Structure 1
Amino acid sequence: MTAGTDPDDAFLEPLLRRCAVEPDFSVREMLTWALTRLSHQSVLDRVVAELDSPVDQARSQALHTLSKLRDERAWPAITSEHLHDANDEVARTAWRTAVGLIPDPERGALADELKLEFGRGDIDVQRSLARAFVELGDVGEKAAQASLLAADTAVRMHAAATIRLIDDPEATFYLDPGDA
């Protein structure tokens, strides 16, 4: 609390180190809040560097912090490797952060990149990806529609569930075997 209430850039490194290892989600949220209260450029530069960490949680928290900073200059640092990270939490956070930071002209390319993830993971991972497509709007719907023709049954079911969510963002996300 003190690090965010009385911001001091000297807290930057200790906060980032703790984000990488803190097991409690609520504590990580407080650490992220404290980071957003520090000098914006210093935090941005250092958090972007953290995206290359070999520690999954460090990458995930760096992406999460970027989503809170809402600085489009961070967009180029979100790579295909982040969007397709083997760790589900890193990938989910990358999807959410990417759709929040992407410049309008690149939205279609992001949708095409994200459609490669259809069929991935459990229901929570799939719901996260569907929410990213909802945020992408028309280009997200177009990419999801194209995925209805995929050879893989899981991809088609996920794409159909995503389209339902795009049509009604308040609806419950569900996979329907009949969509396959």
Structure 2
Amino acid sequence: MGVLEIIGSVFMAIGALFALTGSVGVLRMPDFYSRLHPAGKSDTLAQALILLGLALFAGQQLLDTVTGPDEHGGHGDAWLGLANIMVKLVLLTALLFLTAPTATHAIAKAARLDRYTRVPVENDPGASRVAEIVVAGDVGEQLEETAGPVLDVGTAEPQRAEPEPEPEEDEP
């Protein structure tokens, strides 16, 4: 077992530990917004550490291939495949660091704008709610929801949740 494989194993073990603590944090937090923190932070770091550990494993195999036998018992172009795997794992790690916090932010903003998400503020004598906070760029008034089609398994055509009113005809 090479040095890079040992370091990769340590990274993967630490990543698994972060994933476990993030999962426990999601279960232990009291409300939706508090649960986003361990889900976004620790799981992103856990995935990145595991992927970097795998990249180090591929790096050790790459070193073994390059320094290994070359003449007719050699590995040929196997080092190109291992380098390709290493680059893909590092790029995937970078992609995770960019997209996971953005997705967590988008989920939090969508929940804040949802009229059904109400989080009471402790020690506040009024009826403060997070959804009532006005932020620049938000829609000032609630959007009206229209009734969509209800899918009934027994019929081929979707049914409307509410019957549409028939238009009144003007008499001349």
Q: Compute the TM-score of the two structures, normalised by the length of structure 2.
A: 0.26
Query: Bigger radius of gyration, 1 or 2?
Result: 2
Q: Compute the TM-score of the two structures, normalised by the length of structure 1.
A: 0.25
Q: Could you say which structure has the higher helix fraction?
A: 1
Higher RCO, Cα 8 Å, sep 6+: 2
